[in-house]
Amino acid sequence: TGPLRSVQGEFEIGSQYHFHMETQSCIVRPIEEGQFEVFSATQHMDGVQKSIAMALGINMNKINVSVRRLGGAYGGKINQPHFIAAACAVAANKVKRS
């Protein structure tokens, strides 16, 4: 091997902001006796259930949350779906339909 060489200089890379590509979606359907059926694209089902219960002022056991298999990255399906689900539940409760 030959003599050691030293390379000197500066290199700067700006940070890359990662953001999920999935859209937020939710369907809320009122069912019998003040219960609600919720289909939400979330990774945190109990959080969605609690947010809806708080928004409607009802017990969590009146809310059935179903989730289809979904991918996820960067945390976009953890906390953000709570707001969408609560808004959908308030609207569904108001008009008494999905």
Q: What is the pLDDT of residue 86?
A: 97
In a domain? residue 59: yes
Q: Which of 8-12, 37-41, 89-93 has the lowest mean pLDDT?
A: 8-12
- Per the CB < 8 A criterion, the answer to whether 63 and 34 are in contact is no
68: CATH? 3.30.365.10
Q: What is the pLDDT of residue 5?
A: 83
- pLDDT at residue 97 is higher than 70: yes
Strands 26-31, 35-40: pairing kind: antiparallel
Find the mean pLDDT for residues 93-97: 91
Among 94, 3, 2, 92, CA closest to 40: 92
In a domain? residue 16: no
pLDDT digits (tens, 9 = 90+) for 51-87: 999 999 999 999 999 998 776 667 778 888 999 999 9
Query: What's the number of domains the chain is made of?
Result: 1
In a domain? residue 7: no
- pLDDT at residue 2 is higher than 90: no
Q: What is the pLDDT of residue 72?
A: 60
Structural domain boundaries, residue 88: 25-95
In a domain? residue 15: no
